Structure 1
Amino acid sequence: MVLLASTTYPLFRCLNSWLSPGGSTGSLSILIYHRVLPKPDPLFPDEVDAQRFDAQLNLLKNVFHILPLPEAVERLKNHVLPPRAACLTFDDGYADNASIALPLLKKHGVCATFFVASGYLNGGCMFNDRAIELVRQHPAESIDLRFLELGSLPLTTLAERKSALAILLQRLKYEAPEVRCDHLHHLETQLGVTPPSHLMMNDAQVVSLHQAGMSIGGHTVNHPILTSLPPAIARREIEQNHACLTRLLGSPPVLFAYPNGKFGQDYRQEHADMVREMGYSAALSTEPGIARGESDLFHLPRFTPWDRSLLRFSLRLSQNLWTHS
């Protein structure tokens, strides 16, 4: 790791300065994380763990000019981004953001923005994590999902469990939140699995991030796919989340991230308009790409750092700049 750093950081700084020179032709790379695990999870090998995140932060601070996202948005509007500008963001509000990510961010002197789905604070559990624990804890060699028209899926090997989980998540993702909850409750009761109550932050942890100089953004109450909701319910999700975070932090959040985040599929222009009307200054999608001065501030793209190899991570960051230049 040290050899990689000493030989490649200057090269990547030079390359990315050419791809992202700053000023009127500057661009902004926004990275999206969710969890930072204490150790790798076999069911989700691409999810970042503490050791990998530490290494990524060391690379990022040596290669990029990392900015707080609120500052970066203002610089983007005014065409005064520095060369190699980048920001870090976290979605959903996981407890390990406070317990694991925050100490590492402070160690490296890096700021990040945390988008919090407020309905899961203080002991809640998101639908995807409930599904993960169902598949992880189920002792049998198959899981009966016929009531979801998915048949009986094998669970004999790790690969089969990963496949079953992907199928279950895709089936539930675009259901209304209450329907997802009903389906998962049915499975949890049938299999005797209790959803975890420790995965998401509590109020005090959100406040601790804010007090440490991190920014907190809106992410709806229940993390629904906004296109699956009637407009009035979608607006309520955005408004109540904004009100909750304002009460918690003493000031309104200024940045928002759309749940799931694919334009047209997960949110539409009407939802971007709702976010704007709430007083947010910018909103982030999960569409790949980089932001430029002419970018719509309510459809800012992000980069997902899946790579387990630090070299591949570096190359893909540069490729993202090259592809979208």
Structure 2
Amino acid sequence: MFTRETGRRALDRAFRLSGLKRYYRPSGARCPIVLYHGVSDDPGPWDVTPDEFRRQISWFDRTFDLLSVSEATARWRTDELPPRPAVVTFDDGLASTIEHALPVLESHGIAATHYIAPGLLGDRFEGSEVMARGDVAELHDRGQEIGAHTMTHPDLTVVSRERAREEIADPREALAEITGETPRSFAYPYGAFDPELATIVETAGYETATTVVASDVVDFEARFSIPRLPLRRDHDLNAVRSIVNGDRRWQQASAAFAARIRPTTT
């Protein structure tokens, strides 16, 4: 069955085999930032199985120097990024992170960045159980970074700007009440954002914001549109290696081209 991801994989292969990958390298530091959602024995499209997660994290640990989003940003500022930086992130704060992902991360000494929507805690989101407040506190206490993912996970590009400001700003206080630390990093729900939203995120006091535009190269100067590489159920380790090693840079090239030709209004 042909799916969007099947099409993306075909473009990955064409990008690599055409030689364009050798010639297109975005400006910035090579620092793959991967995005997971759930880790489940009965995975949905955006989940991975526990066995596959262990296999992938083991490869990441052997291959890269793994950091959190905020640590990678801070070390880039001081020109102290390690030779092979990479970052593991999670969106939505699903309960399966505590059960299946956290033990694997800790066994490898990895501090990932977890983007939490505090208005969903203890509830269900798109069919999956969301962790409780105590789970967020535990993640923080065990050395994981907690970032914000709005209060209730709306598409920020379709709600009013007044609501968008509330959804962006309110999680800072809500998460600080849980962890004792104000989150420094933000993730746009569904990866949907525009320049005005990026400005709102900056004004709210965040240091960075992450997207789902795929590239293994990060321009840390553009710190409110940081690319990530979403990983999902139909990605085995070979597919993960392909994506992480630059075969999906075409997506960032397409986004950059679209931004240049997008009409402006006055």
The within-5 A match list for 1:260-271 is 260-261=190-191, 266-271=192-197
Report the counterpart of residue 96 of structure 1 in structure 2.
96
Q: Which residue of 2 aligns with 1:201?
A: 131
Segment of structure 1 superposing worse, 298-307 or 309-318:
309-318
Alpha-carbon distance between aligned partners in 1 of 2:46 and 2:167, rounded to the nearest angstrom: 30
SS at match of 1:217: strand
Q: Deviations over 1:140-180 (max 9, x none)?
A: xxxxxxxxxxxxxxxxxxxxxxxxxxxxxxxxxxxxxxxxx
- Partners of 1:320 and 1:73 lie apart in 2 by 24
Question: Contact 2:38/2:46 (CA < 8 Å) preserved in 1?
Answer: no
User: What is the deviation of 1:270?
Assistant: 1.5
- Quote how far apart the aligned CAs of 1:312 are: 2.6
Instruction: State which of 221, 227, 234 in structure 1 corresponds to 2:164.
Output: 234
Q: Contact 1:76–1:293 (CA<8 Å) still a contact in 2?
A: no
3-state SS in 2 of match to 1:253: coil
Aligned-residue identity in percent: 32
Aligned equivalents of 1:290, 1:310: Cα separation in 2? 16
1:321–1:203 CA distance, 2 compared to 1 (3 A): same
Residue in structure 2 matched with residue 244 of structure 1 by the alignment:
174
Q: In structure 1, what is the Cα distance between the partners aligned to 2:246 and 2:216?
A: 11
Q: Is the 8 A contact 1:32 1:302 kept in 2?
A: yes
AA aligned opposite 2:179: L
Residue aligning to 1:67: 67
2:245 maps to which residue?
A: 318
Structure whose alpha-carbon radius of gyration is higher: 1
The residue matched to 2:189 in structure 1 has which SS? coil
The answer to whether structure 1 residue 283 and structure 2 residue 209 are counterparts is yes
Alpha-carbon distance between aligned partners in 2 of 1:46 and 1:290, rounded to the nearest angstrom: 19
Matches within 5 A, 1:21-60: 26-37=29-40, 39-41=41-43, 44=44, 47-60=47-60
- Does the 8 Å CA contact 1:25/1:79 hold for their aligned counterparts? no
Q: Which moved more, 1:278-287 or 1:315-324?
A: 315-324
Q: Which amino acid is the alignment partner of residue 194 of structure 2?
A: R
CA distance in 1, matches of 2:28, 2:89: 23
Offset of 1:102 from its aligned partner? 0.6
Would you say how many aligned residue pairs link Structure 1 and Structure 2?
226
Residue type at the aligned position of 2:75: R
Q: Report whether the alignment pairs 1:297 with 2:223.
A: yes
1:222-263 deviation line (CA, Å, top 9, x unaligned): 1001111111111011122111101111121000000011xx
After superposition, give the CA deviation of every residue in 1:7-57 in whole Å (9 maximum; x if it has no partner): xxxxxxxxxxxx9xxxx97321100011111x143xx35621111100101
- Corresponding residue for 1:76? 76
Aligned 8 A contact 1:27 1:85 in 2: yes
TM-score (norm. length: structure 2)? 0.78
1:125 maps to a residue whose letter is R
SS of equivalent to 1:226: coil
Aligned residue identity for 1:61? D
Letter in 1 for 2:239: R
* Contact 1:28/1:291, CA 8 A, preserved across alignment: yes
| Paired residues of 1:98 and 1:208 also in contact (CA < 8 A) | no
Separation (CA, whole Å) in 2 of partners of 1:240 and 1:294:
25
* 1:88 match: secondary structure: strand
CA gap of 1:321–1:227, structure 2 versus 1, over 3 A, is closer
2:236 alignment partner in structure 1:
309
Q: CA deviation at 1:318?
A: 1.0
Instruction: Quote the residue 2:258 is aligned against.
Output: none
Say if 1:78 and 1:293, in contact at 8 Å, map to a contact too: no
Q: Residues 292 and 78 from structure 1, CA distance in 2 versus in 1: closer, same or farther, beyond 3 angstroms? A: farther
Mapped contact 1:33–1:89 kept (Cα < 8 A):
yes
